[in-house]
Amino acid sequence: MARIAQDAAAAATHEENKPENDKDMRSTEASYIARGQAERARELERSVALLSSITVRSFGAGEGIAATALVTLLHRGSKLVCFVLPAAGGQRVKVGATEVQVVTPTSPLGAALMGLSEGDEAEVPTPQGTKVYEVVEVR
């Protein structure tokens, strides 16, 4: 990711991106992209550092959801598997045939899940109305 950000920064200052007139925005647009990619690279570096220092633990039956829990949810018949982590929210990873979504305790879904256990329901307010998730499994 850092290399991509460096490439975008180089493109922003490349002679081909110099404005041909006062309405030409190529270099400005390229600099916005470079800035955004550099910030994303820094964010990912912070996430890697934080996640490298945590200890993943197993959860037993009846234990409440907390950081590092792997949670299986049901919403209207659809299964959603979430990994509760303090960083990297929104990332999706494929483990075998299962897609796992990272949620943070500060996200709407993550906050609704904290402390719940198997059989509980999480209510998450959304612009389209409240979504209800059933906690099927906590590992």
Question: What pLDDT shows up at residue 37?
Answer: 85
The answer to whether 119 and 77 are in contact (CB under 8 A) is no
Strand, coil or helix: 110: helix
- Tell which CATH classification among 1.10.10.10, 3.10.50.30, 3.40.50.1000, 3.20.20.80 matches the domain 70-138: 3.10.50.30
Structure tokens at 42: 């820094």
Q: Encode pLDDT of 46-69 as tens digits.
A: 877 777 888 899 998 889 999 999
Regarding beta strands 98-103 and 78-84, do their DSSP bridges make them parallel or antiparallel, or are they unpaired?
parallel
Q: What is the pTM of this model?
A: 0.72
Q: How far apart are CA 110 and CA 85, in angstroms?
A: 9
> Which burial class, exposed, middle or buried, applies to 102 when counting CB atoms under 10 A from its CB (0-12, 13-18, 19+)?
buried
Question: What pLDDT shows up at residue 9?
Answer: 57
Give the ranges where the chain is alpha helix by DSSP (H): 2-13, 26-52, 108-113
Question: What pLDDT shows up at residue 42?
Answer: 83
Structure tokens at 11: 């493109």
Concatenated DSSP letters of 44-79: HHHHHHHHHT-------TTPPP-TT-EEEEEETTEE
Q: What are the residue ranges spanned by the domains of the chain? A: 2-52, 70-138
Low-confidence residues of the chain: pLDDT under 70: 1-24
